[in-house]
Structure formats: structure tokens, C-alpha cells
Amino acid sequence: VGAEKERTALLVGIDYFSTRQYNKGIKHLEKLLKKCESHHDFCAVELFLARCYHRIGATNKAIELYEDMIRRDPLRATAWSNLGYIYIDLGDSKRALDCLSKAVQADPENPHAFVNMAVALINVGGYDYALSYALKALELKNNMIEASNAVTICYMAMKDYESAERYYKISVRNGAN
């Protein structure tokens, strides 16, 4: 997507994703994928394509795309994190934790990788560990609702109700309902 025209086309695909027009996004991004001129552009298009497929329930196709990205670039933290998120959805905690561990290692500044790791750890009852990942996500992005929600859940599970209430209020202040 090297030229300005193709970059604008990528923004159209992202807009389809952000406005939940996933099927339109898939059609648009599939065409755009064939025009990619660089590895970076190819990965950007493939990332949103995978996200669209995941949102319409085409999980296997999304997994295939993320695995393709990872084969080409094993340090692509967003692909690892999103793949881990899919495995959380599928209830495959072992695969989720493996992917998310790689995401956190690949990019220790990615708050989404940390919050996804926290959620995976919550799912297996690892509240102490989950708390540290959720707090790190909040440190990286202090208005991240998912992270403050995860912190709240951890404190509730650990029966620290005062801290849970404090982070619940943070979630509400950040837009949770």
C-alpha cells in the first residue's frame, strides 16, 4: 500500500472495521492485500482483515492470517496478542497464555498484550499474576477500561473490596457502564 492512494484505501478498510461493517471491510481489504508493496503495508492490511474475520465468527480464517503474520515476523506483538485473544474466546487457556507471553516479550510497551494476558490469567484463576499484568496495562495506558476492569476483578477475587471499589470507579470514570 506504498502510494498515498493505497494508504487512503487502508484507512477506508479500517473505517469499515471501526464502524462494524466487517463484510465490506473483508471485501475491501482482500482486494487491497493484492496491492501491497511492502512487508509493513501487507501486515497492516492483514491485521485488519484478520480482525474483521474474527468479528464475523470466521475464527479459523482469522487464526490463519495471524499465524501467517507471525511466520513472517515472529516479533509482531499485535498479531500474537490478537491470536491470544482468540484463544481466550475459544477457551484454550494454554494456547492463549503461550501467545500472550510472546506478545508481552515482543513489545513490553503494548497495553493490549498486557490486558489480554491478565484476562487469560483470570480465566485460569491466577489472580495475583493477572493483577500485575492488568496494573502494567494501566500504567501504559491509564484510561484503558479493560485494564481497570481486570484489576477490579482481581481485587474482588482476592477479597480486597476497598481496592476493587477504587478501580471500579476508575473504570466508570473511563467510560465503563
**Grid cell at residue 2:** 506504498
Task: Return the pLDDT at 39.
Answer: 76
- Which residues does the chain have with pLDDT short of 70? 1-3, 177
pTM of the model: 0.88
Read off the amino acid at residue 142: N
Q: Report the pLDDT value the prediction gives residue 82, as an integer from 0 to 100.
A: 97
114 touches 144 (CB < 8 A):
no
Q: Where are the beta strands (DSSP E) in the chain?
A: none
pLDDT value at residue 43: 82
- Select from 50, 51, 37, 47 the least CA-distant residue to 6: 37
Say which amino acid occupies 12: V
